[in-house]
Amino acid sequence: MFVTGLVLAAGGSTRLGSPKQLLPFGTGTLLDATLTMARACAFDQLIVALGGSAEDIIDTVDLSGAEVVRNEEYATGCSSSIATALPAVNRSADGIVLLLGDQPAVQPATVHSLVDAAHDAPLGVCRYRNGLGHPFWLGSETFHDLADLHGDKAVWKLLDSGRYDTVECEVEGPIPRDVDTWDDYQSLLADGEGRE
């Protein structure tokens, strides 16, 4: 089985006011931490979608082991990053594991459990103690629909559409924090997830 990891890190950080990808976290940046986690998942292919502040990110973040795609339409929502990345996905890929660039506390074990549970399904999602959350499994049969998605939360809309069978992977604990605001960032640091 061939699995592609796709890290969405193209956002413009409009609510935060500065590039969240470059916020100090652990021994590097927030995106460094997410990519370290993604590399630990041992995907057959790893892609990272950049958009806002792409040049600063390329100059600062360790992108080794990842193919970079540039999303010039990042302001239209995260679905544009998925559509931009699709042509780079290996033709042998059985599916994509979708990861958020600002969610570094996802565990590689969660990714492996998701792939094990959902690899025969069109869609997979993690069910945490407090609800559904990333990462997502997007089987190759969904790729044509992914190319046509628009706006933010578009993958959630695909999930809610009932068009595809969806497998839920049970994960212990709460949904890992992501960072949209300064308060989110402070809460992430307070959790101890950014300590060395």
CB burial of residue 74 (10 Å; 0-12, 13-18, 19+): buried
Q: How far is CA 159 from CA 69, 77, 92, in A?
A: 25, 17, 24
- Domains, the chain, ordered by start: 3-190 (3.90.550.10)
Query: How far apart are the C-alpha atoms of 56 and 22, rounded to whole Å?
Result: 8
Task: Encode pLDDT of 95-106 as tens digits.
Answer: 999 999 999 999
- The residues of the chain scoring below 70 in pLDDT are 13-15, 17, 151, 192-196
Question: What pLDDT digit, counting tens, does each position of 108-129 carry?
Answer: 999 999 999 999 999 999 999 9
Look-up of token digits 């935060």: 16
pTM of the entire predicted model: 0.92
DSSP state, 53? B
